Amino acid sequence: MAALGGDDDAGHFTLKRLSRPIMMARIPVGDQVISVFNCHLKSKLGEFIRPEGADFAPEAVLTSYNPAGRSLGALRAALRRMAESYVLRRAILDELNKGHPVMVLGDFNDGEHAVSSEIISGEVPFKNYSWMLRHDAKSPNDRYSAKENQQITENVDRVRLRSGEKMFVRKSLRDMVYTAAFNGVYESIDQIYMSRHFDPEYDKSIGEMEYYSVFNDHLTDGSHPEAPYNKLASDHGQIMAHMHLPPD
């Protein structure tokens, strides 16, 4: 709130536990140790508060539909998902600062451009920080120098994760990947992210993604009368990144 000139009166949110544990494994590959995270973040299902002594939350009673209450439940779920994303981001930064290449796999329950996903991946460097006013600017000409532009860009890019899906779409010229379908909405909420160690455009990369597979033929959005749902199959598509790590 300081940047807005405010204080703590706007409220706060405390996360006492994660919806599901975040798992991490350090996997030796050649002379490298790759830190692989797996997560399943809070879903978009509303989080409603059940009054003491009640069997269920009032918002769960759809015959007495409460649109404001259900919206507040969606807000709680989104706050939890973003807070969990921050917990994951801190763990990712710890591994990157140790020099370990990082991969993050899992059900983000949000698309690539959602705030929660952007918290996990980190910021994309601005095209040229020399155009930007300094944080302590006193005049319109107080901008970052060319040397500072390089420093800031490196600081941001060093800890930024790349989307495997985006890298694949750009490479293959395909325009749609989806891992979930519901009520006519197709979206990609399962992700594979990786550090720049696997970006072929990074001059010190240790490998690259050769192909990206999405197994989603079993998905139905529930609109077809002969296939409203499929209880025998996952409600998510499975994704697989095919990586190539050449020997030194």
Residue 52 has pLDDT above 90, yes or no: yes
Residue 178 has pLDDT above 80, yes or no: no
- Residue range 186-203: average pLDDT? 83
Residue 148 lies in a domain: no
Residue 2 has pLDDT above 50, yes or no: no
| pLDDT for position 1 | 36
pLDDT tens-digit series, residues 95-146? 999 999 999 998 888 878 889 999 999 999 998 999 999 999 999 999 999 9
Residue 25 has pLDDT above 80, yes or no: yes
CA 71, CA 69: separation in Å to the nearest integer? 5
Residue 12 lies in a domain: no
CA-to-CA separations, 179 to 103, 110, 111, 130, 150, in angstroms, rounded: 19, 11, 10, 39, 37
Residue 6 has pLDDT above 80, yes or no: no
CATH of the domain at 176: 3.60.10
Residue 145 lies in a domain: no
Residue-number span of the structural domain to which 240 is assigned:
18-122+161-244
Residue 172 lies in a domain: yes
Residue 142 lies in a domain: no
Number of domains in the chain: 1
